[in-house]
A and B are shown apart, each in its own frame.
Chain A
Amino acid sequence: MVLSQKFHEAFKGTVERITNPRTVSAFKEKGVLSINEFIVAGDNLVSKCPTWSWESGEPSKRKSYLPTEKQFLITRNVPCLRRAASVEEEYEAAGGEFLLDNEDNDGWLATHGKPKETKSDDEENLPSMETIEISKKNTIQSISSYFGGEEEDDIPDMAGYEEADNVIETDAATLQSTYLVAHEPDDDNILRTRTYDVSITYDKYYQTPRVWLTGYDESRMLLLPEDVLEDVSQDHARKTVTIEDHPHLPGKHASVHPCRHGAVMKKIIDVLMSRGVEPEVDKYLFLFLKFVASVIPTIEYDYTMDFDLGSSST
């Protein structure tokens, strides 16, 4: 972790400890949420999209300002059929969408063609966020070293232990090799299908929700957080998505950094209001997840509902 990021975390932690949680609503003015509004919006998400649940997480990590059984939201086993990197390449080749207002990292997409430009300068002058080199060539097949044993000599070669006793293969009623038949012959998909646990926590410092990603490969083995960046829109992977400790779960997880969430949400709310739609705070997470979808376009989590937000064209 970069030192400046550490400092910032320490600072943020101190501020969080000494400030009181937001109680006055500033949803329309600043795009932020009070704790109560987060609970209201979370309850609404859970009831409209039942794949989401509230969880209480690690007892030692519980935040006293949140109800014990509503510490954070999670949806598990969300499919991610393709790598964001490869989707983007296709888009660009087709002159597809591009990010509007790129300097602000707003993540609004426009569907006109994108003028080809080199991103290389941009990439070299990155700010302090942890930068991870992603080689586009091996985005698909790289299997993380969590379990592969490639660089971990600690892990003995299991092939020697292969056993014949009592294994399901000998049984006529057992379907063989599930994940090979899980997809049509298009064999790219077999390796590409990952699943994600997506969680939403409340960030007290920024007073916004914050999204965390835990990735798994096709046999449901944990991905390294670095590999998760392959499923993040490449414009964000190197800037706004960081790898940090999850506030309620053990381990390092990739997270969309919330420093601009308030501003982005404020813009979305302004757009809605200019269209004559009065945004309601319990819809906040739907708007928020819609915006997050531009950061993680291929992770198919559930956030849709038939609510009237005016004609949002994106």
Chain B
Amino acid sequence: MAGHESRPVLQFAPFQSSVDEGFWHRLSSLKLNKLGIDDSPIPITGFYAPSAHPQVSNYLTLLAESLPTEPCEQSSVAMVIRGNRNRCSAPGILYNTNTLEGFHAIDKQSLLKAEAKKVWESIHSGEAEEDSAILSRFLLISFADLKKWSFHYWFAFPALVLDPPATLLDLRPASQYFSIQEHVMTGATRAQRQVESPSAVENRYLLVSRGIFCFSSQEAKKYESLVDVPFFLLSISSNSHATVRHLKDWEACQHGEQKLLFGFYDPCHLPNNPGWPLRNLLAFICSRWKLEKVHFFCYRENRGFADLGFSLVGEALMSVPQGWEDPQHIPSAVGWELNRGKKVPRCISLAKSMDPTRLAISAA
């Protein structure tokens, strides 16, 4: 274990939240028309996408559709449209209190623990293997002040803490990693786009993936079901053919020569850090398969197309923490979002667009 300390700890960029105005509008009307003073937790859905620009991270976004619809509304469209890669869904839970005092009195520690427990249990039950989005489970507490049209809220993105933390053996742009592997990566392409750069033809290595890299419509079809699955396996066979597979195919990939990378849609844009979703993925790998050395693939895009110069491939070293074999032992968790670097909730006032008196004045 000598030299272990000298390796840098793998640090993850925290997830960031973004709430669309429509979410608060729908929450208000739910509260007024349906919930009343019922403050039981509400299941909600958050959406995120891989980072799409080298300068900004993507956010876990709440939209009006994140909340259940009111029964009176016509809902001919399915609440969550699947297969839109700009909207990978993550399950969440909302605790909306009736008073500001109630909001501040919430025992945040135990709520976070409760959510972490759900993640932990889904790892142990194998549920997370089937539906990996569970790994990105999140928590929102809020108080909707419908007299002043202001909303107090605080997000948490529970992450199971590896103790000791994972260390980093290597991290580099995916393009570099793949060229070291003596594969020539051609740029991202899509069924509709013709594959370019004839110079690379001989050694062409097309990363077939996600319906985004796909180069024939037939293959695109095959991977369509994977398009909005945020965690995946990238298996690279000895003849340099890459395929994207479900996490649950891991066991099936064990025989044979292929190299396996654990991929995820990375909302983070930073060149030296993977984003938050990798944390629970690593915890999952550590707990489920007891792997100590893993290659991970932070999938990122530029202008909607995979960008391997911007995506990262890293190698992490983990040791299975004590007690992790025991499903009853729940690891500690972190993940309350900071507000401009501070441990305070956020607040937004929408009186301008919601207060009927103000609306009447501005319309006069």
Our count of residue pairs bridging A and B at CB distance below 8 angstroms stands at 182
Q: Is B77 within 8 A of A171, CB to CB? A: no
Pairwise interchain contact A50-B304, C-beta atoms closer than 8 A: yes
Contact status B22-A250, CB under 8 Å: yes
Establish whether residues A77 and B353, one from each chain, have CB atoms under 8 Å apart when the complex forms: no
With A154-B349, A173-B162: A193-B363 Cβ-Cβ less than 8 Å = no
> What's the least CB distance linking B118 to chain A, in Å?
17
Interface of B is mostly: loop
Beta-carbon contacts under 8 Å, A163-221 to B: 163-175, 177-178, 180-183, 193, 195, 197, 214, 216, 219-221
Residues of A within 8 A of B270 (CB): 175, 178, 181-182
Whether the pair A59, B16 counts as a contact (CB closer than 8 A) is no
Interface residues in B1-32 (C-beta closer than 8 Å to A): 9-14, 16-18, 20-22, 25
**Interface pair A163/B108, CB less than 8 Å apart:** yes
Contact-residue size bin, chain A (C-beta under 8 Å from the other chain): 35 or more
Are B165 and A48 in contact, CB atoms less than 8 angstroms apart? no
- Stretch of A107-115, A134-142, A145-153, A229-237 that contacts chain B: A145-153
Other-chain contact of A219, B86, B87, B339, B350 (Cβ < 8 Å): B339
Query: Which B282-315 residues sit within 8 Å CB-CB of chain A?
Result: 303-305
CB atoms of B86 and A51 under 8 A apart: yes
| Chain A hits for B254, CB < 8 A | none
Most buried by A among B53, B270, B335: B53
Asked if B96 CB lies within 8 Å of chain A CBs, one says no
B165 touches A173 (CB 8 A): yes
Q: How many whole Å from A154's CB to the nearest CB in chain B?
A: 5
Q: Are the C-beta atoms of A60 and B73 separated by less than 8 Å?
A: yes
Q: Which residues of chain B have C-beta atoms less than 8 A from A154's C-beta?
A: 145, 148, 150, 349
* CB atoms of A251 and B350 under 8 A apart: yes
Taking the complex as formed, is A34 at the interface, i.e. its CB lies under 8 A from any CB of chain B? no
- Closest residue of A by beta carbon distance from B194: A306
Q: B165 to A172, Cβ gap below 8 A?
A: yes
Given A76-B61, A181-B270; A251-B362 close (CB under 8 Å): no
Among the stretches B128-136, B197-205, B237-245, B340-348, the one at the interface with A is: B340-348
The 7 A-B pairs at the shortest CB distance, nearest first, are namely A50-B304, A251-B353, A51-B304, A220-B18, A158-B344, A250-B25, A175-B11
Instruction: Indicate if A249 sits at the interface (CB-CB under 8 A).
Output: yes
Which one, B74, B335, B353, contacts A252 given CB within 8 A? Answer: B353
B334 is an interface residue with CB less than 8 A from chain A: yes
Query: Which chain A residue shows the least CB distance to B147?
Result: A154
**Least Cβ–Cβ distance between B279 and chain A, in angstroms:** 7
Additional A-B contacts beyond A146-B349, A163-B343, A219-B16 (20; CB < 8 A): A50-B85, A51-B52, A51-B303, A53-B86, A58-B64, A59-B69, A60-B73, A77-B52, A77-B61, A145-B349, A161-B345, A168-B14, A173-B12, A174-B14, A177-B338, A180-B341, A182-B55, A182-B56, A250-B21, A251-B353
Give the CA-CA distance A59 to B76 in the complex, in Å.
9
CB of A76 to closest CB in B, whole Å: 7
CB within 8 Å for A59 and B86 given contacts A77-B56, A168-B336, A174-B14: no
Which size bracket describes the interface of B in this complex? 35 or more
A162 touches B12 (CB 8 A): no
Q: Are A50 and B345 in contact (CB under 8 A)?
A: no
Kindly identify which residue among B52, B336, B362 contacts A1, using a CB–CB cutoff of 8 Å. B362
- Per the bound structure, the CA–CA distance linking A159 and B348 in Å amounts to 15
Flag whether B137 is at the interface (Cβ < 8 A): no
- Is A302 on the interface with B (CB-CB < 8 A)? yes
A300: min CB distance to chain B, Å:
7
Q: Does B252 contact A (CB under 8 A)?
A: no
Report B's interface with A, CB cutoff 8 A.
9-14, 16-18, 20-22, 25, 49, 52-53, 55-59, 61, 64, 69, 73-77, 81, 84-87, 100, 104, 108-109, 112, 145, 148, 150, 161-162, 165-166, 190, 192, 212, 268-270, 273, 279, 303-305, 334-350, 352-353, 362-363
Query: How far apart are the CA atoms of A181 and B85 in the complex, in Å?
Result: 27
A128 interface residue per 8 A CB criterion: no
Residue A56 CB within 8 A of the other chain: yes
A295 proximity list for chain B (CB < 8 A): none
Residues of chain B within 8 A (CB-CB) of A52 are: 304
Q: Are A49 and B303 in contact (CB under 8 A)?
A: yes
Q: Which residues of A contact B18 (CB under 8 A)?
A: 77, 216, 220
- The interface residues of chain B lying within 8 Å CB-to-CB of A220 are 16-18, 59
A186, chain B: closest CB distance, angstroms: 12
- Assuming A178-B13, A193-B56, is B109 touching A165 (CB within 8 A)? yes
List 13 A–B pairs whose Cβ atoms lie within 8 Å, in order of A's numbering.
A59-B73, A69-B77, A77-B56, A77-B59, A149-B347, A158-B344, A168-B14, A168-B334, A171-B161, A172-B11, A175-B273, A180-B341, A251-B21
Which A residue sits closest to B157, measured CB to CB? A168
Q: Is A14 an interface residue (CB 8 A)?
A: no
What's the least CB distance linking A262 to chain B, in Å? 28
The answer on a CB contact under 8 Å between A169 and B343 is: yes
B343 engages A250 (CB within 8 Å): no
